[in-house]
Amino acid sequence: MDDAAYFAALPKAELHLHLDGSVRPGTVLELARQEGVPLPADDLEHLRPHLEAPDDCASLREYITFFELPIAVMQSVPALERVTFELCQDLSDDGVRYAEIRYAPWLHVDRGLSLTDVIRATLAGWRAGKEATGMAGGLIITALRDMPPEQNLSLAQVAGRFAAEGVVGFDLAGDEAGHPPILHEDAFRLARSLGLNITIHAGEGAGAESVRQAIAMGARLIEHGVRAREDPEVAAMANDEGVQFDMAPTNNFQTKAVRRLQDHPLPRYFKQGLKVTISTDSRTVSRTTLADEYLKVAHVLGCTRQEIWVMNLQALDGGFGEPAVRAKLRDQWVGEVEAAPAGS
């Protein structure tokens, strides 16, 4: 079995996955027509360049602009349910059996929905997706760096009400420049007290100090963490505290967190003993799948199948979902791989 077929067939876990960055282009087009949202093109061929970031994207700030159209059509309960359900289908088609899907509810209230409405809608889509595909995992609520801290505090309060219904974590995302994590410390303290696990985007658009602050705020998972390598003390801090870096190589190249894909620190982190995982970040915006990312990690970054398998299991082990469910899945996956014919 060649690598492409092997990684496609592998049971996989994905932790760093944005809902609004993973909407099917055809769904954006249909929802826009239904809801009267103006689009820059009225056919898929010409719409795709507005939804998919090019490899020569200049920065994280430019990359984020490709989320604008999906967000514009994700402003109703039916739309939110649909895109969440469809993402579960797409994940299943990619061989993903455990996923944690994240999104920022404050971005979906422009047409009158409340934060509670938004979370309930995505949970409905998630439950339907789980039933249809057998997916395990949960939803992560994302706070935004450039919002006033009091708004993120109120978001944490609302998110905590759904801790027993499928919301498994609380996140911070957005352009890091000028928005250090520590500004939102109160929201994350509240989220932890309400039973939510903490994950923070850090070390992508800003340096190692951003990662240090995120760890100090209780983040068990650091999304990206590419620039943690700039300060050996921060990398050591992550190692000592068992913090995991959920990395997305294609995305990191597009946002210019790394200048060349070949320069990505994922293999180096792995060899240093850091906990690392592989994700897509945004399937549509980055025009990728998890199987594609695994293939790039093998062919461009030089990791072996066994090393990638270890990273995959680390994603499952490090997730926020129910431990018993993850343990059962781990046993199943290991059994499947061990039972596969030699050389496959």
**Could you give the residue numbers annotated as active site?**
204
Q: What is the DSSP string of 168-222?
A: EEEEEES--TT--GGGGHHHHHHHHHTT-EEEEEESSSS-HHHHHHHHHTT-SEE
Exposure of 202 in the CB half-sphere (CA atoms within 13 A): 32
Name the phi and psi angles at 133, rounded to 5: -115, -15
Nearest alpha-carbon partner for 126 in 171, 71, 80: 80
Instruction: Please check whether residue 19 is in contact with residue 217, taking contact to mean a CB–CB distance below 8 angstroms.
Output: no
Q: What is the DSSP string of 126-168?
A: HHHHHHHH--EEEEEEEEETTS-HHHHHHHHHHHHTTTTTTEE
What is the DSSP-derived secondary structure letter of residue 99? E
Identity at 38, one-letter amino acid code? P
Task: Give dist(CA 177, CA 144) in Å, integer.
Answer: 13
Please report, in angstroms and rounded to a whole number, the separation of the first and last CA atoms in the chain: 5
Paired residues of 102 in beta bridges? 18, 140
